Amino acid sequence: MAGNGCPAVSVLQESGQAQHTDGTAAVLAIGTANPANCMRQDEFVDWFFRVTKIDHLATLKAKMKRICEKSGVEKRYFCLTEEMIGSHPGFINRTLPSLSARMTIVTAAVPDLAAAAARKAIDEWGRPATDITHLVVSTSSGNHAPGADLHVAQALGLRPTVHRTLLYLHGCFGGCSAIRVAKDLAENNNPGARVLVVCSEVYTPLAFGAPDEEKMDAIVATSLFGDGAGAVIVGAGLTQHPTERPIFRMVSASQTTIPETERALTMQLGESGIHYGMSAEVPKHVRGSIEGCLAETLRPLGLGEWNSLFWVVHPGGRAVLDSCEAALQLEPGKLAASQRVLSEHGNVGAATIIFVLDEMRRRRKNVGEEEGGVDDGEWGVMLGIGPGITIEKMVLRAG
Ligand SMILES: CC(C)(COP(=O)(O)OP(=O)(O)OC[C@H]1O[C@@H](n2cnc3c(N)ncnc32)[C@H](O)[C@@H]1OP(=O)(O)O)[C@@H](O)C(=O)NCCC(=O)NCCSC(=O)/C=C/c1ccc(O)cc1
């Protein structure tokens, strides 16, 4: 394992339990939720071209089928239904204004999904919801106040004194940002804090529209993104609550922005919903920068042997994971948790990283018991990748 014989990691290892009980935050529980409507990727393009009434565009359809085949996605969950599409002409024809209709759906769905994921995390945690002191909500699906944070707090019966923080439009790194904020809250100035982090993304009703071959990036987004929510509970100072068990200790957190890439990933809310800009160069940018970006943070900790770590990487798309694998020369299987989540859910924006944390915890728990279990070492890295291009990094130490 990296750090065997390495002074910096030895210090971290020796002080791990003490740091934890003294105040290093940990993930204590995880919950996820999906909308009911499950879409198989091999049926998606036929469905999409039928409901948008453009079946005659055979070349574009064939190209989108190729993208879907290469996506690494097998199924996704949608809040969007055919009934919604049928009731709103602007959902197909994006020259018509449709923002209000889209937002009405999203405003109801974001807190519902968020609360469903949060309830699972709270059940697993085993303490009453009223013991939550802080709530951090992250979503790219919303434009209203009071926002989803208040609706989630009310739905869960949190105390009126709960400290709410809402992160809007962080995109795909929003899950890592929210978890980083929770770590800071739990470790600083708030003794005994228990922070509920909820990421809820309802992309499909917000971005749906007939494909336009001039906007291939929108077609790529439509081929990859799905809806869902993830929740974690974060706390430090566990000696006060002997029933609580750390799943992942959050050792350090940092953020890097790749220079001159601010146009590579964008999101913009307009009259016809949200528009995603996604350069075809994103995988190349990730490949060119990820090693250096990780080295600056992890090498000083003695964690530079990438294959000795476990990896919780945001699966922005199959090519993003391939880029990380190639740049870090990771052995096959190192990104299996991320690949599995991409396959089962697609890219669920900020919520995706929580699905990957959940998958990683399941794999580690099942070591020696069931197929898919894996012992990937004690130390790991969580990576979020989103607009900026921003890379969020967190060093994790398993339970
Ligand atoms: C699965 C892909 C889409 C295709 O696989 P491939 O191995 O690259 O295949 P090809 O190289 O054969 O590409 C197929 C075609 O797609 C085209 N293409 C390939 N990416 C492009 C492109 N971004 N533009 C426009 N043409 C392209 C590519 O040029 C090519 O066109 P053609 O040669 O004419 O067949 C792969 O490129 C991929 O995984 N790309 C990464 C996607 C990506 O950047 N993801 C990260 C951003 S995620 C993010 O910010 C999410 C925020 C979010 C926030 C909230 C939510 O609710 C949800 C999400």
Cβ of 60 less than 6 Å from ligand 1: no
Stronger pLDDT, 43 or 145, i.e. the higher one: 43
User: What are 283's two structure tokens?
Assistant: 């995988």
Pocket test residue of 34, 44, 64, 70 for ligand 1, highest count of atoms within 8 A of CB: 70
Pairing state of beta strands 265-270 and 163-168?
unpaired
Provide the b/e sequence for 78-106 (b: ≥16 CB within 10 Å): bbbeeebbeebebbbebeeebbebbbebb
Residue 4: pLDDT above 70?
no
Measure the CA–CA gap between 314 and 67, rounded to whole angstroms. 19
Q: Whose CA is nearest to atom 20 of ligand 1?
A: 280
Q: How big is the CA angle at 362 (ends 139 and 132), to the nearest 5 degrees?
A: 45
Contact 382, 309 (CB under 8 A): no
The interface predicted TM-score of the complex, written ipTM, equals 0.94
Query: Which ligand 1 atom minimizes the distance to the CA of 318?
Result: 39
> Which has the minimum average pLDDT: 194-208, 226-240, 317-331?
226-240
Residue 235: pLDDT above 90?
yes
At 116-159, the pLDDT tens digits run 999 999 999 999 999 999 999 999 998 888 999 999 999 999 99
Query: Which ligand 1 atom minimizes the distance to the CA of 264?
Result: 44
The alpha-helical segments, DSSP class H, found in the chain are: 7-22, 41-51, 58-69, 82-87, 99-125, 148-156, 174-187, 204-207, 216-224, 282-298, 318-327, 336-345, 352-365
Environment class of 314 (CB within 10 Å of its CB; exposed 0-12, middle 13-18, buried 19+): buried
Residue 367: pLDDT above 80?
no
Sign of the CA dihedral with 294 first, then 351, 181, and 396 last: negative
Q: Whose CA is nearest to atom 13 of ligand 1?
A: 67
**Residue-averaged pLDDT of the chain:** 91
How high is the pLDDT of residue 322?
Answer: 98
Environment class of 206 (CB within 10 Å of its CB; exposed 0-12, middle 13-18, buried 19+): buried
Cβ of 322 less than 6 Å from ligand 1: no
Cα distance from N-terminal residue to C-terminal residue, the chain: 16
Q: Please, which pLDDT band fits residue 243 given cuts at 50, 70 and 90?
A: confident
Cβ of 131 less than 6 Å from ligand 1: no
Residue 219 CA, ligand 1 centroid: distance in Å? 8
CATH number for the segment(s) 30-240: 3.40.47.10
Residue 282 CA, ligand 1 centroid: distance in Å? 8
Residue 64 CA, ligand 1 centroid: distance in Å? 11
Residue 213 CA, ligand 1 centroid: distance in Å? 14
Residue 104 CA, ligand 1 centroid: distance in Å? 29
> Which has the minimum average pLDDT: 4-8, 206-210, 272-276?
4-8
Cβ of 18 less than 6 Å from ligand 1: no
Q: What is the mean pLDDT of residues 190-196?
A: 95
User: What are 99's two structure tokens?
Assistant: 């923002």
> Which has the minimum average pLDDT: 73-87, 193-207, 367-381?
367-381
Contact 228, 345 (CB under 8 A): yes
Pairing state of beta strands 194-201 and 228-235?
antiparallel
Per DSSP, the chain holds a count of helices (H) and strands (E) of 13, 13
Query: Which ligand 1 atom minimizes the distance to the CA of 282?
Result: 44
Contact 69, 44 (CB under 8 A): no
Q: Whose CA is nearest to atom 44 of ligand 1?
A: 282
Residue 314 CA, ligand 1 centroid: distance in Å? 15
Position 298, amino acid: L
Q: Whose CA is nearest to atom 10 of ligand 1?
A: 67
Pocket test residue of 342, 347, 352, 353 for ligand 1, highest count of atoms within 8 A of CB: 347
Query: Which ligand 1 atom minimizes the distance to the CA of 227?
Result: 57
* Contacts of 219 by beta carbon, 8 Å cutoff, 6+ apart: 60, 63, 64, 67, 211, 212, 213
Q: Whose CA is nearest to atom 47 of ligand 1?
A: 316
Residue 171: pLDDT above 60?
yes
Residue 217 CA, ligand 1 centroid: distance in Å? 7
How high is the pLDDT of residue 10?
Answer: 45
Measuring CA to CA, how many Å separate 174 from each of 29, 230, 317? 19, 12, 16
Measuring CA to CA, how many Å separate 132 from each of 42, 115, 163, 197? 42, 14, 9, 10
How high is the pLDDT of residue 304?
Answer: 86
Measure the CA–CA gap between 93 and 89, rounded to whole angstroms. 6
Between helix 174-187 and helix 352-365 the angle, nearest 10°, is 70
Residue 140 CA, ligand 1 centroid: distance in Å? 19
Contact 142, 110 (CB under 8 A): yes
Cβ of 75 less than 6 Å from ligand 1: no
Q: How big is the CA angle at 30 (ends 24 and 33), to the nearest 5 degrees?
A: 150
Pairing state of beta strands 26-33 and 248-257?
antiparallel
For the chain, residues classed under CATH 3.40.47.10 are: 10-24+247-398, 30-240
Is 199 catalytic? The answer is no
How high is the pLDDT of residue 22?
Answer: 58
Contact 264, 323 (CB under 8 A): no
pTM (predicted TM-score): 0.94
- Neighbour tally for 75: CB within 10 Å: 17
Catalytic residue among 68, 79, 172, 199: 172
Among candidate residues 233, 167, 229, the one with its CA nearest the CA of residue 392: 167
At 118-127, the pLDDT tens digits run 999 999 999 9
Stronger pLDDT, 12 or 271, i.e. the higher one: 271
CATH 3.40.47.10 assigned to 10-24+247-398: yes
